[in-house]
Amino acid sequence: MKLRNFFAWFAFLLLSCWGVMAIICSNLPAGTRLAGAAAFAAAALAGAILPGKGKWKLACFTTAFTAVLVWWLALPPSNARDWEPDVARLPYADIYGSSVTLHNIRDCEYRTEKAYAVRHYDRTFALGSLRSVDLFFVDWGLPNIAHTMLSFGFGGDKYVAFSIETRKIKGEEYSSVRGFFKQYELTYVVADERDVVRLRTDFRKGEKVYLYRLKASPEFIREVFLDYLGSVNRLKARPQWYNALTANCTTDIWKHIVPYYPKAKFDWRILASGHVDKMAYDLGVVDQSFPFPELKRRSLVNERAKAAGGDPGYSRLIRRGLPGFD
């Protein structure tokens, strides 16, 4: 088989699989999904195996694929669904020159992962007091996938965390496969650390949370923080789809950092988020006092987070004695 033919068949199989999955993973009624996927697969297969010239076969497949693609691209995200209570209220920010008021900062009181009382509060921060930015790295036990969050510190024990997540409707569970196919809206959870960190250390099983102080200038931290707020406000005004590859917890962090980071170069670890903390170490933006394996071991906060509980000084207590923190 010629190399050109090999790539043509590979592209055909890839696009065919994508089309079938886009229909199967859609919100169409179950019967319509199966019928639509079967019809597309039949059209694709017919274009491949029926006798005739190559141009005719290509036209047959292209027509079917284009129809599915146009339908898929037209699927609109929404802010008006029956959301899970923890993501029902969207955050937003009012920016007044040297200060920012964040609305709907989440501070859930958990009894279990699924049983919680949703609480929100508003808080005004002086941009001049913005001192730090920290990376929370959440290991799910998968070698190449992790959850990442940034938390901005305003001096003392004032921190606000941003967790970029899927916005799920009631009863919906996350599927990494469906995450590629416009099944979840994107949301920026703006939260108290006692919410998004305790959820992962105290109430979810098998998650390990690591905390790293990022080396950055006050100017850089301020620019990234304001960039985050721009996205927060845009999502409230105009919803956006989550995508497991291109619009997720790690790729969006990178998008916020790139405009203000002169050394920014794309790294495969942006997509393989399970290696992001090692990437930060290689870039020299986290503490370098220890070899990376030792730094990571010392940066695990699960036990100290459990010990801190709901203490008002939670953020200070989980940072005490960690490498890179004063």
Tens digit of pLDDT per residue, the chain (326 long)?
A: 566 666 767 777 888 889 889 999 888 888 898 998 888 888 777 766 666 555 666 777 788 889 899 999 999 999 999 999 999 999 999 999 899 999 999 999 999 999 999 999 999 999 999 999 999 999 998 889 999 999 999 988 899 999 999 999 999 988 888 889 999 999 999 999 999 999 999 999 999 999 999 999 999 999 999 999 999 999 999 999 999 988 999 999 999 999 998 877 889 999 999 999 999 999 999 999 999 999 999 999 999 999 998 889 999 999 999 999 97
Same domain as 222, residue 96: yes
User: Per the domain annotation, does 80 fall within a domain?
Assistant: no
Same domain as 90, residue 7: no
Same domain as 222, residue 134: yes
Which structure tokens are listed for 81?
């669904």
Residue type, 91: P
Same domain as 90, residue 68: no
Cα angle, residue 144 at apex, residues 278 and 108 outer, rounded to 5°: 85
User: Per the domain annotation, does 234 fall within a domain?
Assistant: yes
User: Per the domain annotation, does 144 fall within a domain?
Assistant: yes
Question: What pLDDT, on the 0 to 100 scale, is given for residue 43?
Answer: 78
Which structure tokens are listed for 84?
């899970």
User: Per the domain annotation, does 225 fall within a domain?
Assistant: yes
Same domain as 17, residue 148: no
Same domain as 314, residue 212: yes
User: Per the domain annotation, does 51 fall within a domain?
Assistant: yes
Return the number of other C-beta atoms located less than 10 Å from residue 316's C-beta.
14
Main-chain dihedrals φ then ψ at residue 164, nearest 5 degrees: -90, 120
Burial (CB count <10 Å: 0-12, 13-18, 19+), residue 167: buried
Q: In 3-state terms, what secondary structure has residue 210?
A: strand
Question: What pLDDT, on the 0 to 100 scale, is given for residue 256?
Answer: 95
Same domain as 64, residue 96: no
Same domain as 273, residue 180: yes
Q: Which long-range contacts link 171-179 to residues 24+ away (Cβ below 8 Å)?
A: 172/84, 176/145, 176/244, 177/21, 177/25, 178/25, 179/242, 179/243, 179/244, 179/248
Question: What pLDDT, on the 0 to 100 scale, is given for residue 148?
Answer: 97
Question: What pLDDT, on the 0 to 100 scale, is given for residue 73?
Answer: 92
C-alpha to C-alpha distance for 309 and 26, rounded to whole angstroms: 41
Write down which residue in 73, 96, 126 finishes a domain: 73
C-alpha to C-alpha distance for 240 and 186, rounded to whole angstroms: 6
Same domain as 21, residue 92: no
Which structure tokens are listed for 34?
């199966």
Same domain as 300, residue 215: yes
Report the number of distinct structural domains present in the chain: 2
Write down which residue in 73, 103, 131 finishes a domain: 73
Q: In 3-state terms, what secondary structure has residue 28?
A: coil
Helix residue spans in the chain (DSSP H): 3-24, 30-49, 54-73, 193-198, 218-237, 249-257, 276-282, 292-298, 302-308, 314-319
Q: Which residues are within 8 A (CB) of 39 and not within 5 positions of it... i.e. 6 or more apart?
A: none
Same domain as 212, residue 96: yes
C-alpha to C-alpha distance for 37 and 42, rounded to whole angstroms: 8
Question: What pLDDT, on the 0 to 100 scale, is given for residue 46?
Answer: 73
Write down which residue in 42, 73, 104 finishes a domain: 73
User: Per the domain annotation, does 207 fall within a domain?
Assistant: yes
Yes or no: say if 128 and 98 are a contact pair by the CB < 8 Å rule.
yes
Same domain as 100, residue 57: no
- Residue range of the domain that includes 229: 85-319
User: For residue 146, which of 159, 158, 137 has the smallest C-alpha distance?
Assistant: 137
User: Per the domain annotation, does 78 fall within a domain?
Assistant: no
Question: What pLDDT, on the 0 to 100 scale, is given for residue 51?
Answer: 61
User: Per the domain annotation, does 192 fall within a domain?
Assistant: yes
